[in-house]
């Protein structure tokens, strides 16, 4: 196997008028980074070095972007003025940082009767009472009279004061 050397002749990196024009045109069309460099006829490495060596190359990119954005904004603005609702909406969103309201207001009118609510609650209590009575007759749960009324457990009898001092017991040794 033979080794063939590839001749490499580095291209001079200078910001010529043709090179700056190519950078400007690519940036105006919206290209960025490596695609901008390749579209301008340079490798990405060459483009980065050119921007470091000569700031006019970076200026050409910025100017191209600004002119491209200005052109698109003008087209969008003209379309919005001619009645294109979608174009107008996009102008509002982009240029004026507008956003459509995200909340929906829903208005429901309903009158609540307290007496009707109490009657419904009473009916539910009667239904549950009847159900407990049927279960008690069948030998199930105790009668509902004690379970549906508020009868405090005899907690006073079981009360243990945690802060009280315990009684001392004497132990004979």
d(C-alpha 97, C-alpha 111), whole Å: 42
Ramachandran angles phi, psi of 16, nearest 5°:
-75, 165
pLDDT in tens, 53-89: 999 999 999 999 999 999 988 888 898 888 888 888 8
Angle at 14 between CA 8 and CA 18, to 5 degrees: 105
Q: Residues 40, 23: contact at Cβ < 8 Å? A: yes
d(C-alpha 60, C-alpha 78), whole Å: 27
pLDDT in tens, 93-114: 877 777 777 777 777 777 778 8
pLDDT at 76: 87
C-alpha distances in angstroms, 124 versus 65, 118, 121, 133, 142?
73, 10, 5, 14, 19
Quote the pTM value: 0.49
d(C-alpha 87, C-alpha 164), whole Å: 79
How would you label 48-68 residue by residue, b for 16+ Cβ within 10 Å and e otherwise? Answer: eebbeebeebbebbebbbeeb
């Amino acid at each position: 196997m033979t080794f063939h050397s590839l001749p490499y002749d580095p291209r001079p990196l200078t910001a010529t008028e043709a090179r700056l024009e190519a950078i400007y045109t690519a940036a105006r069309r919206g290209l960025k980074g490596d695609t901008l460099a390749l579209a301008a006829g340079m490798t990405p490495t060459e483009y980065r070095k050119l921007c470091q060596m000569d700031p006019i190359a970076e200026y050409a990119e910025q100017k191209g972007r600004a002119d491209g954005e200005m052109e698109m904004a003008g087209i969008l603005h003209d379309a919005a003025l001619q009645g294109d609702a979608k174009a107008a909406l996009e102008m509002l969103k982009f240029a004026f940082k507008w956003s459509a309201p995200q909340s929906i207001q829903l208005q429901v009118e309903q009158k609540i009767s307290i007496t009707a609510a109490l009657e419904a609650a009473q009916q539910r209590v009667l239904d549950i009472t009847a159900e407990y009575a049927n279960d008690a007759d069948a030998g199930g749960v105790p009668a509902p009279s004690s379970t549906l009324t508020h009868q405090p457990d005899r907690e006073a009898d079981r009360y243990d004061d945690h802060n009280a001092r315990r009684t001392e017991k004497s132990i004979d040794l």
